[in-house]
Amino acid sequence: MKLMARRAQLQHHQCHQHLSLKALHLWKYYKWILWLALFICLFLTTTTTTPTSYSFLFRPLHLKPLLPAKTNPPALVESRKSSSAALPKIYVYELPSRYNKDWLSNSRCDSHLFASEVAIHEALLGYPGRAVDPNEADFFFVPVYVSCNFSTPNGFPSLHHARPLLSSAVDFVSSHLPFWNLSHGRDHVFVASHDYGACFHAMEDVAIADGIPEFMKRSIILQTFGVRPPHPCQQAEHVLIPPYVPPDIEDEWPAPEKARRDIFVFFRGKMEVRPKNVSGRFYSK
């Protein structure tokens, strides 16, 4: 733990140095700057400053971040103290609710295995480095929830609509603001938290055959899908993120130092048993 905290501190320190350099350098190191940003925003409760008015379409959302702070490692306390001016600026597009919030009408949407697409969106809305003015942004976050169209019989998310929904979101942001066209989406960030991530199909052979949608190939894609590269579904700027675990899990199963317990493993996902049975019995929803 100590080692990890020190490493985080070191990375944090380096991060500051790089941030003071020119955009080129920022660009070069963007992958882990982005990682750091996500790390900070997922683990800190943030004080959301209410931004001043902005254009009607892209005014910031006033959603409260749902993630409570669970830990206070020294490196993070340190970074909280540092000025938010030093953080990479991330602009969060406000898309019509059919791309994201409408899906929350199903209560599983923000708690199931692939809910990091929702959690990261909410965390970025409260992130201290959030850019109110897109002209100041280093990165652009495109919040589309694609994993919440659950099949009634087995509870698995259907991903058929993922490509058309994302493609339509890209049309929306590229027609309303100039930033997508300026970089061809290179500084735009998506979450693809399902199996085989940005290939948007749960079966590997079909996923590989379909590939990453053409319009997303230049973008930065946060995926929970972490096989040893190279994999055709990771051939974009692939950033590996953990699958979603609800923060209140600790209420139900307190940490070993806080309570005696006889279950030591937390499992989310699907057990492959023979004969293969996807009825939902072995699927942790």
Ligand X SMILES: *[C@@H]1O[C@H](CO)[C@@H](O)[C@H](O)[C@H]1NC(C)=O
The nearer residue to ligand X, 28 or 281, going by C-beta atoms, is 281
The contact set with ligand X (CB under 6 A) reads: 149, 158, 160-161, 174-175, 178, 181, 275, 277, 279, 281
The nearer residue to ligand X, 55 or 181, going by C-beta atoms, is 181
Cis ω on the peptide bond leading into residue 65 (within 30° of 0)? Answer: no
Which residue do the tokens 């070069």 mark?
Answer: 28
The nearer residue to ligand X, 29 or 196, going by C-beta atoms, is 196
From 86, 62, 75, 81, select the one nearest 138 (Cα to Cα).
Answer: 86
Distance of closest approach, residue 134 Cβ to ligand X, in angstroms: 12
d(CA 255, CA 257): 5
Distance of closest approach, residue 113 Cβ to ligand X, in angstroms: 18
- For 179, phi then psi, to 5°, come to -70, -35
d(CA 1, CA 30): 25
d(CA 80, CA 72): 10
Distance of closest approach, residue 158 Cβ to ligand X, in angstroms: 4
The nearer residue to ligand X, 86 or 202, going by C-beta atoms, is 202
Distance of closest approach, residue 24 Cβ to ligand X, in angstroms: 24
From 258, 149, 239, 253, select the one nearest 188 (Cα to Cα).
Answer: 239
The nearer residue to ligand X, 163 or 238, going by C-beta atoms, is 163
Contact 129, 15 (CB under 8 A): no
Distance of closest approach, residue 277 Cβ to ligand X, in angstroms: 4
Q: Is residue 27 helix, strand or coil?
A: helix
d(CA 92, CA 223): 18
The nearer residue to ligand X, 238 or 270, going by C-beta atoms, is 270
